[in-house]
Amino acid sequence: MTAKIKPSQGSPYARILGVGGYRPTRVVGNDEILKHIDSSDEWIRSRSGIATRHWAGPDETVAMMSVEASGKAIADAGIDPTQIGAVIVSTVSHFKQTPAIATEIADRVGAGRPAAFDISAGCAGFGYGLTLAKGLISEGSAEYVLVIGVERLSDLTDLEDRATAFLFGDGAGAVVVGPAKEPSIGPTVWGSEGDKSETIKQTVSWEEYRGRTDVTDVRFPAITQEGQAVFRWAVFEMAKVAQEALDKAGVSADDLDVFIPHQANMRIIDSMVKTLKLPENVTVARDVETTGNTSAASIPLAMERLLATGQAKSGDTALVIGFGAGLVYAATVVTLP
């Protein structure tokens, strides 16, 4: 006799219920970056829009920043930590291969015994995590999911690499995703272009670094990129992905209240706004100016700042898109918490 499996009892819809962020206390201006590269403040600002970034101190670990951001998100959502059924952490800067840092974070926030795992999807990681959270809620595996984007990219920055020394910052952003009575997270448009994986990469693999007999002549692994190739890809291809996400959600540019792209570069953001023909009344996140590129943390950090400063409000319709190393991308339309 063939057994019949009961259908899932999850909520048909999910939404972001709360958001929180953590930025390290140390603020690093362009003047400090210029001690290591032959450039100028004007060049850095004109090419990236970045004036300052936050770099973590010794005690501001990936786990510590995540716990701080998560605590704020849980409080903002108005739930008890024990109600969290899954913790998803997106990061490329947790240096232990195992165990997943999500397990430590889950314990420290008081979540009990949830599913907990890490994902590596670079700057698209938050979008990947959000999509997984929506699926877990829909199929009944968890009622509430904590999604975290966190990076200590200062640990992976080569201060003498003129193409990247000024780009990266540290921080953590978190959201709580839970059940909803109506669609509040649209279909995700995501994918990868592995043939372009060399455009953003780690300079030396951990295996190669370990295998060097004389590491005094070998720089610690860092992130590097082919700036122009990445810029062209982001400007021309990611606007198409963003438009597809709008179309799949049944939303037009005129319906949007907020645009929260990955905070990679101000020129990329401005170009996407122009290509998408966003109306002037749409609030655009430009957190990159003072936070730098924080990879997986950039979208939730930007979201948290827009809500905290009143530039966006609860219930606003927002288009979010992340893109980066892989090359990978993820875009969706959400209702802000």
Q: Of residues 54, 94, 123, 265, which has the active-site annotation?
A: 123
Q: What's the full length of the chain, in residues? A: 337
Instruction: State the number of CA atoms in the 13 A half-sphere of 303 facing the CB.
Output: 39
Task: Assess whether 293 carries a catalytic annotation.
Answer: yes
Catalytic residue of the set 30, 94, 262, 265: 262
Q: DSSP string covering 122-149, please?
A: GGGHHHHHHHHHHHHHHTTS-SEEEEEE
Using an 8 Å Cβ cutoff, are 24 and 297 in contact? no
State the DSSP H helix or E strand holding residue 187, giving kind and residue range, or none if neither: none
Question: Using CA of residue 121, residue 127, residue 129, residue 135, what is the dihedral sign?
Answer: negative
Tell me how many degrees the CA angle 332-152-145 measures, rounded to the nearest 5. 40
| 210: Cβ contacts below 8 Å, ≥ 6 apart | none
Choice among 54, 94, 265, 293 that is catalytic: 293
Amino acid residing at 323? F
Active site residue 54: no
Cα 202 to the center of its chain, rounded Å: 18
Distances 187 to 22, 212, 251, 312, 332 between C-alpha atoms, Å = 28, 46, 11, 22, 6
Q: 327 preceded by cis ω (within 30°)? A: yes
Q: How far apart are CA 214 and CA 194, in angstroms?
A: 32
Taking CA atoms, 36 is separated from 27, 93, 151, in Å, by 17, 22, 22
Nearest-angstrom CA–CA distance, 240 and 191: 13
Active site (catalytic) residues: 123, 262, 293
